[in-house]
Structure 1
Amino acid sequence: MNRGKDEFRVERLKAEMRRAGLDYLVLRLGENVLYTTGYWPIFGASAAIVPLKGEPSVLYVEGEQEFVADTWVDDIEAYPFFNLQTLANPRKSITDWLKRKWQTKGYNPQGKIGYEGDFELVASNNVAAEARVMAPSSLRAYQETLPDATWVDASAAIRASRIIKSPIEIELLRLACELCGIGYAAAREIAEPGVKESALSAIIESRIHEVGVGYKGVRRARGFCFAMSGPNSFWSRRPFCIDSDRHAQAGEQVLLELDTAADGYHNDLTRMLAIGQPSPRVQEAWGVINEAVDAALAITRPGTPCSELNRVSMDVIEKRGWGQYFYHHVGHGVGLQFHEPPTLHPASQEILQPGMTIAIEPAVYVKDWGGMRIEENVAITADGYDLLSTYSRAL
């Protein structure tokens, strides 16, 4: 869906380019092509040129015509990724395009060009099993194509622009949260003693994809869910989650970690699900974490240090006698990736600003019993926050 030109992020990016002294950006990562043009590449072999003065240009893989129609950019060009005459060589196609654009657009061959040199964590392509990144050899090829230019890593400038979301971006994250709710509701349909963890994950992912494609104008939607039951949910304390063939038992809790993408924007949401009547300990832990979430939300407003959200959540958990089970910081930003700045960590120096979108996720994890985590996604407003994740926290 073409949502029109996002002037907010165009102007914000140009401001960061001016601050960094950049004349141009050459972008390869799908998430940054989306951010700067409105077009989310399918295959990950597209590119964008963003000049400080003037409009961007897009090079896309032949076959993605219906998706490049989402861009607000007029200067678009296709190239064949493969044919029967030559081997696929997107690097050459992109370098030829760069040379051609610098000539036809009259760009300064001695300008300062920014590239994505420090994106170690990247969002996956729409073809989620693979991700394409710019290799050092690609950068060398671009430098050889424009040898008189000054090439600099622009990652910091790009991130500084991306950390504040436009109204269009916030609405896409809201849609991703709505799709999470649809997935969670599907899980409740089969949440009975004996249900397999992977079955819960599967029905959530299936329902999000089934309903999400076409939902309120969303063209592409995917959910990535991991259901961890009973003692298995302890292991969600790790930097990743993974489900298994374990069958949940009556009275246990299931931790449902769910990341959903709506047209390239990713949220990060966790809900807890009780199998039958939750045990007293499950109910107690849920109450503690629910209170910790509310404590963090109570101070979520512009000007609040990100570290404070961590502190107030931890204070609640410690006062309720669960402090020894508090393992990790309470959140992070969401957007083009489902983990991005800012970080809600005790050592964070970041301050909440209007337009930031964050996930708040205090948790406790007890070995041989399990974990309890509740996560909310919010957008920081001028005087507080806008709750994007409205699905019930109830067990």
Structure 2
Amino acid sequence: MIHIPQAEFAARADNLRVLMREQDIQACLIYGDEYRKENLRYISNYWPLFERGAAIVPLVGEPIVIAAPEGEVLCEEMSAWPDIRLLPEFTCVTVPDEIEYPLAKYTSLREIWIGINKTIPLKRIGIVGMDAMPASLLNAIERSFEPMEILDSGDLLFQLRMTKTAHEVACLKEAARIADAGYQLMIEQVKPGMTELELASLALGECTQQGAEYMPFCVLTSGDRAKTIIGRPTRKVIQDGEMIMAAIAVQVEGYVATIGFPFVAGSMNEEQRAFIQILVEAEDRALSRLRAGVKQQEVVRAVKDYFAEKKVTAYDLYPPLHGCGLAEAESPYPDEHTEVLFQAGMTVNTDVSLFGHPHGSNRIEESLIVTDEGYESMSALVRKLSSNWKKTGEISVL
């Protein structure tokens, strides 16, 4: 079974404590909710639904997980840590009303801090996810912490999440496998006359059947709509010869892999063929520079230099690569000036794209593992599509 074992969550907490000691932090609160789940899931495996959540990692003792009443049982099912507390400040994220839960057994942040303080005196508290939490919750936390010093410690989790373990890679590979299956079905069954929503439903259904925990998005547009960059599928009817711009993200045990590759409904014209050729070659240029020990800027420059050769720079809107893991897009997100080196164990997505070009708008997205020798693709489908394209100039999954 693909999952993150308890021992790995314990190691994550220990690794966080190392960084906390370096900054003289005695406890760290990691915030998360349904929409910004990454850091909370990393440290606790809990992913709230409707409500907010948090985990408190003290310098001494096991982490404490914070939930709200409706999600208590869900938290018990998911949490890597048994000590779960309910707080009224963490109830439903979408309404301003104060909701009454007569059976809830609430505690308070102040009670939690008093308990931790008995083990280790609290002077400095780090908060991860300060940018994602509402001001009212942040104010409540700050009042509860007084007179302790509050620090924005979001960088600590970004450091820890940058390189992946074998278990994390296994989750990403499974997500990529499922994404491949859904995307391949769209390529095989696309036809003029179907709507964008009908085409997207093929991927959504297949990925769910294959075991996706969740699909963070299914971007799908056709024809002139492709220039919207991240458009949602609509009831628009796909016409013969229209290029499809699609990208699907699949989540398994919290980890997200993404796939995207241009294809056409019906007959492809020569202008579309030339446009797709540019994207395929640009991704090849990027991959030729991707390996541990290389400056991240080199991958970005390889693509941008090629686009300049082809005189398409005006349609190049953002860097062609970013990290992937517990978020579809996470650090690193390098540009042409990034001096940081790639490290073995980093997981990244290519996102080689051109938008607004007269002959189309599209992207190639592929999830990859950085290795000492170069890279390992997690998408057998993108590798096959790219290889077949270079041999035949056709979009073929055979």
- TM-score where L is the length of structure 1: 0.83
Which position in structure 2 is the counterpart of 1:268? 258
Spell out the pairing of 1:109-148 with structure 2 (5 A cutoff): 109-116=121-128, 118-119=130-131, 133-148=132-147
The question of whether the paired residues in 2 share the 8 Å contact of 1:13 and 1:158 is answered with yes
**C-alpha distance in structure 2 between counterparts of 1:154 and 1:324, whole Å:** 38
Q: Residue 2 and residue 158 in structure 1: after superposition, are their counterparts in 2 closer, same or farther (change >3 A)? A: closer
Cα 1:299–1:335 shift into 2, 3 Å: same
Task: Tell me whether 1:279 sits opposite 2:291 in the alignment.
Answer: no
Partner residue of 1:129? none
Pick closer, same or farther for the CA change 1:28–1:107 going to 2, 3 Å: farther
Equivalent-residue separation in structure 1 for 2:187 and 2:68 (angstroms) = 41
Q: CA distance change for structure 1 residues 57 and 17 in 2, over 3 Å: closer, same or farther?
A: same
- Any gaps of 5 or more consecutive residues in structure 2? 386-394
Q: How far apart, CA to CA, are the structure 2 residues paired with 1:159 and 1:2?
A: 18
CA-CA distance at 1:26 after TM superposition: 1.2
1:41 aligns with 2:29: no
User: What's 2:390 paired with?
Assistant: none
Q: Structure 1 pair 392/339, CA: closer, same or farther in 2 (3 Å)?
A: closer
SS in 1 for 2:7: coil
CA contact (8 A) 1:228 1:256 kept: yes
Between 1:200-209 and 1:153-162, the stretch displaced more is 200-209
Find the counterpart in structure 2 of residue 15 from structure 1: 18
- Cα deviation for residue 368 of structure 1 reads 4.7
Deviates more, 1:96-105 or 1:278-287: 96-105
Q: Alpha carbon RMSD of aligned pairs, Å?
A: 2.8
Is the alpha carbon distance of 1:372 and 1:103 closer, same or farther for their aligned partners in structure 2, counting shifts above 3 Å? closer
Q: Among 297, 301, 309, which residue is 1:307 paired with?
A: 297
User: Are positions 1:234 and 2:234 aligned together?
Assistant: no
Q: For 1:221-260, what per-residue CA distance to the aligned partner results, in whole angstroms no more than 9, with x for missing partners?
A: 2252121222322332xxx333333333333321112222
In the other structure, the counterpart of 2:245 is 255
Q: Which residue of 2 aligns with 1:127?
A: none
The equivalent of 1:124 in structure 2 is: none
Aligned length: 368
Relative distance call for 1:264 and 1:252 in structure 2 (3 A) is same
8 Å contact kept, 1:333–1:343: yes
Partner of residue 65, structure 1: 73
- CA deviation profile, 1:75-119 (whole Å, cap 9, x unmatched): 23456859xxx94379xx999343333333424453211113553
Q: What does residue 122 of structure 1 align with? A: none
1:222 aligns with 2:225: no
CA 1:50–1:89 in structure 2 vs 1: closer, same or farther (change >3 Å)?
A: farther
In the TM superposition, what is the alpha-carbon distance from 1:312 to its structure 2 partner?
0.8
Structure 1 unaligned blocks of 5 or more? 120-132, 214-219
1:88 counterpart = 2:99: yes
1:292 and 2:249 equivalent?
no
Distance 1:76 1:5, change over 3 A: farther
Residues 87 and 106 in structure 2, CA contact (< 8 A), matched pair in contact too: no
Identity of aligned residues (%): 25
Query: Is the aligned partner of 1:32 residue 2:12?
Result: no
Once the two structures are superposed, residues 13-66 of structure 1 have per-residue CA deviations (whole angstroms, 9 ceiling, x without a partner) of 233323333211112213222111223233342221111233211123344435
1:308-334 C-alpha deviation (Å, 9 max, x unpaired): 111111223333454443332212111
Distance 1:336 1:70 in 2: 16
CA distance in 2, matches of 1:20, 1:391: 45
Residue 382 of structure 2 corresponds to 392
- Kindly indicate whether the alpha-carbon contact (under 8 Å) linking 2:60 and 2:120 is maintained by their aligned counterparts in 1: no
Contact 1:221 1:263 in 2 (8 A): no
- Bigger mean CA deviation after superposition, 380-389 or 286-295: 380-389
- Please, which of 339, 350, 373 is the counterpart of residue 360 of structure 1? 350
**Distance in 2 between residues matched to 1:137 and 1:33, nearest whole Å:** 19
Query: 2:4 touches 2:168 (CA, 8 Å); kept in 1?
Result: no
User: Match of 2:109, as an amino acid?
Assistant: L
